[in-house]
């Protein structure tokens, strides 16, 4: 296989199960039906991977929000008297819990940073058990965006999740499909690390900036990771809706190194043509798609993977390459999980 075929097969392998997506949406519909009965509510909205079709397997959640009528709560939010919605979120939980229990007897509703996390504790046949995030939101006086609570920091944040969905699903069918494929594979690549360097929203925002036309998946992914490395080296990614501050990254240098490594190896895989062993060697290298693709027999990547599975010593040689064994090189601390603290990609 060439790089295109390998990456396209990877895209298919990580695809979300349609029935699981439908189940997550059905659960979200039930939550929305319960939430809209809450006094002072205006409307609900869908957001996140489910709304943008950026979901992978396993399907973990469905994101959305409940917008409150500011006329009923004149003191609420920065456009009122700055009142925070902590008590209102608790009241919302108390309102929807008995309604949801009629259909989901094991439902558990927890407070989270932006509102409520609804856990159903009813696994699907696939083993997935999608949750629903319900953000409590308030229309802003200026513009069409929202105020959403940050209960952890005791403040309100400006955001525009509905605009994000519009932007991420804009364009021709071909461009939308190319963007979806890039974001889904980028999400899977990032989640291989125990400590991902960037969030999914950042990946989607970068893809929105650089995926402007239809092209094969290998070329599109090379473009994306090269662009992400170059842009993030210069500055944080701006909010596509122009409402929130730039997207935070815990360690920007680390994110850039990971993006650059992936771009370089995808280019190597493309240059390998139909030499499947070389394609796999490049794509299964540590820091690229090493947990998603099996390295070719006899390769250093396969030996490294086997050593990790067996708990053997790992080290980094003078060139910064991950090796098995510890002689003549810098040992990798065994207390850290594979993919979280290794040399230039740590």
- pLDDT > 50? residue 342: no
Q: What would the pLDDT profile of 182-240 be if each residue is shown by its tens digit?
A: 999 999 999 999 999 999 999 999 999 999 999 999 999 999 999 999 999 999 999 99
Cβ atoms of 342 and 316 closer than 8 Å: yes
Q: Which region among 85-89, 173-177, 306-310 has the lowest average model confidence (pLDDT)?
A: 306-310
Residue 314 confidence class, pLDDT cut points 50, 70, 90: low
Which of 212, 210, 214 lies closest to 186, judged by CA? 210
| Mean pLDDT, rounded, for 49-72 | 96
- pLDDT > 60? residue 318: no
Asked whether this chain's domains 3-13+166-266 and 18-159 adopt the same fold, the reply is no
Instruction: Determine the pLDDT at residue 321.
Output: 54
Domain 3-13+166-266 has CATH 1.20.58: no
Is-above-0.75 flag for pTM? yes
| Mean pLDDT, rounded, for 309-328 | 49
What is d(CA 237, CA 299) in angstroms, rounded to the nearest whole number? Answer: 37
Q: What would the pLDDT profile of 107-139 be if each residue is shown by its tens digit?
A: 999 999 999 999 999 999 999 999 999 999 999
Return the CATH number of the domain spanning residue range 18-159.
3.30.460.90
- pLDDT > 70? residue 302: no
Instruction: Determine the pLDDT at residue 142.
Output: 83
* Domain positions in the chain: 3-13+166-266, 18-159
Verify cis geometry, omega within 30 degrees of 0, for the bond prior to 113: no
Mean pLDDT of the chain: 90
| DSSP assignment string, 235-249 | SPPPPTTSSSPPPP-
Instruction: Determine the pLDDT at residue 227.
Output: 98
> What is the bridge-based pairing of β-strands 115-119 and 108-111?
antiparallel
């Amino acid at each position: 296989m060439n790089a295109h075929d390998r990456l396209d097969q990877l895209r298919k392998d990580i695809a979300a199960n349609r029935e699981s997506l439908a189940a997550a949406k059905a659960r979200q519909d039930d939550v929305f039906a319960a939430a809209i009965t809450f006094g002072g509510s205006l409307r609900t909205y869908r957001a996140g991977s489910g709304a943008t079709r950026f979901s992978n397997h396993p399907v973990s959640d469905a994101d959305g929000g409940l917008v409150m009528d500011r006329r009923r709560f004149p003191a609420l939010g920065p456009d009122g008297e700055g009142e925070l919605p902590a008590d209102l979120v608790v009241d919302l939980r108390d309102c929807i819990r008995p309604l949801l229990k009629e259909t989901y007897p094991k439902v558990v509703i927890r407070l989270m940073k932006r509102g409520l996390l609804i856990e159903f504790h009813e696994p699907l046949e696939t083993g997935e058990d999608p949750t629903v995030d319900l953000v409590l939101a308030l229309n802003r006086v200026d513009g069409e965006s929202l105020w959403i609570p940050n209960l952890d920091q005791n403040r309100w944040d400006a955001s525009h999740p509905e605009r994000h969905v519009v932007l991420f699903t804009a364009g021709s069918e071909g461009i939308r499909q190319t963007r979806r494929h890039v974001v889904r594979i980028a999400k899977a690549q990032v989640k291989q690390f125990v400590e991902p360097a960037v969030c999914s929203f950042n990946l989607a925002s970068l893809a929105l900036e650089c995926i402007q036309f239809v092209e094969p998946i290998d070329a599109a992914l090379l473009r994306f990771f090269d662009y992400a490395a170059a842009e993030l080296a210069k500055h944080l990614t701006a909010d596509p809706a122009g409402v929130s501050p730039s997207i935070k990254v815990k360690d920007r240098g680390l994110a850039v190194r990971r993006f650059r490594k992936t771009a370089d190896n995808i280019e190597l895989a493309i240059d390998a043509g139909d030499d499947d062993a070389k394609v796999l060697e490049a794509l299964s290298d540590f820091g690229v798609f090493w947990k998603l693709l099996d390295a070719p027999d006899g390769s250093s990547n396969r030996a490294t993977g086997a050593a990790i599975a067996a708990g053997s010593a790992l080290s980094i040689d003078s060139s910064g390459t991950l090796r098995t064994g510890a002689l003549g090189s810098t040992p990798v601390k065994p207390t850290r999980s594979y993919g979280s603290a290794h040399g230039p990609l740590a």
